Amino acid sequence: MTDNDRKMKALPVSLTAKDFASDQEPKWCPGCGDHSVLQQLKQVLPELGVAPENIVFLSGIGCSSRLPYYLATYGVHGIHGRALPMATGLKIARPELSVWVGTGDGDALSIGGNHFIHTLRRNPDLNVVLFNNEIYGLTKGQYSPTSKIGLKTVTSPSGVIDHPFNTAALTIGSGGTFFARAFDRDGKLLRTILKRAAEHKGTSLVEIYQNCPIFNNAAFEAFATLDSKADNTIYVEQGKPLVFGKNKNRGVMLDGFTPIVVDLDTEEFSTSDLWLHDESDINKASILARFADDDSLPRPIGVFYAEDRITYEDALVAQIQDAQKNGYGTLEQLLKGENSYEIKSAS
């Protein structure tokens, strides 16, 4: 393999979603949110300007981790929880590839929790699509690390007692450089966010609230149905005030460090009092992340945080280039070492 072969090739003329569909039929249950995520990915991938042979999808274990089988790119369906280190290794070895990870709440946050936090702080340029359905689907309905307190499942017949992970807070707390949240049912928004994730240089974490119709149906109903969605969610956009509600008549403002919901129909508050979303502000992103823990606040969707920080592989390549500034080491030099000595003749 020469360096030339490895360089990205220009994308052939206008690929479509169809070009990214593999010959395998998805085996997810009818009505599963995963179908939508796959559909949006197939639409976004042709827009990235990257040839299919330069895209790799990696995954762990779980329903979501079947994703690579259904995309006509390179793909590896790995072992439970370990897609992120596999992706890191691949990205370090081949920085020019577009590397994606499909994972779930169990895969990423339970068995792969250690890899999750360490990958985020290192910031390799990966696009991580985390399907969060707050349940274990493939093993048939056990609670997951994001299941709500009190959820009754086969392994929590009296209700879940472990406090759930807050994916956004965990991402930001781990030193992640990109966090966004989307819904399986809102295809348009999901496409926008997947594109943003692909454009972000660094580890992009996209949490997708994804419905499992079999084991945890309607977990996100309040955020997803037409009549309740507007009042229960808030779409955060760069530079714009945090306005939500069916009639765009409610807003979020900061009282010190505390977010409060205000009524814009009253004389008391106007949009100029509201919090302006700033993706580069880690403090605001941290507060946004915590909205999920407070039922009086709308659930944020959109890009919470995006930070421009050097990627792991770029930093490593820079060190290697620096070490080679006086020349690339030869095999002769390697074998001879730096402390060799000559023995002239036997005495």
Partner 1 sequence: MTDKKKTTRQVNVTSKTSVSVLFAGDSGDGMQLTGTQFANTVAIHGTELNTFPNFPSEIRAPAGTIAGVSGFQLQFSSKPVYTPGARFDVMVAMNSAALKANLKNLHRGGIIIAGTEGFDEKNLKLAGYPEGANPLHDGSLDNYIVFPVPILQLTREALKESGLSSKEIDRCKNMFVLGLLYWLYTLPFEGTMETMYAKFQKNVWMAEANIKAMKAGYYFGDETELFANLGRFDISPQKQHGIYRRVTGNEACAIALTAASRKANLELFLGSYPITPATEILQTLAKKKKYGVKTFQAEDEIAGIVSSIGAAYGGALAATSTSGPGLALKIEALGLAVILEIPLVVINVQRGGPSTGLPTKPEQSDLFMALYGRHGEAPLPVIAACSPVDCFYTTYEAARIAVEHMTPVICLSDGYLALSSEPWKVESPDNLADITPRFQPPREPKDAPYLPYKRDDRQVRSWAIPGTRGLEHRIGGLEKQHETGNVSHDPENHELMTKLRAEKIDRIADSIPLQSIDNGPLKGDLLVLGWGSTYGAIKTAVEQALEKGYSVAHAHLRYIHPFPKNLGEILGNYKQVMIPELNNGQLVHVIRDTFLFAPESYTKVQGVPFNEMEILSKITDLLKELKS
Would you tell me which residues interact with partner 1 (CB under 8 A)? 1, 5-6, 8-9, 22, 24, 51-56, 58-59, 61, 68-69, 71-79, 82, 85-94, 96-97, 114-115, 118, 316, 319-320, 322-324, 327-329, 331-332, 334-337, 339-347
Return phi, psi of residue 219, to 5°: -60, -30
CB 197 → partner 1: shortest distance, Å? 19
Question: 188 or 344, CB closer to partner 1?
Answer: 344
CB 87 → partner 1: shortest distance, Å? 6
Counting every residue, how long is the chain? 347
Characterize the bridge pairing of strands 250-255 and 126-132. unpaired
Q: How far apart, in Å, do the first and last CA atoms of the chain sit?
A: 50
Residue 192: count of CB within 10 angstroms of its CB: 17
CB 314 → partner 1: shortest distance, Å? 12
Cα 119 from Cα 63, distance rounded (Å) = 22
Tokens of 40: 């949006």
Question: 268 or 332, CB closer to partner 1?
Answer: 332
Helix (H, G, I), strand (E, B) or coil at 189: helix
Task: Look up residue 73 and give its DSSP letter.
Answer: S
Residue 141: count of CB within 10 angstroms of its CB: 15
CB 66 → partner 1: shortest distance, Å? 9
CB 282 → partner 1: shortest distance, Å? 23
Cα 36 from Cα 29, distance rounded (Å) = 12
Question: 267 or 338, CB closer to partner 1?
Answer: 338
Question: 75 or 259, CB closer to partner 1?
Answer: 75
Question: 88 or 167, CB closer to partner 1?
Answer: 88
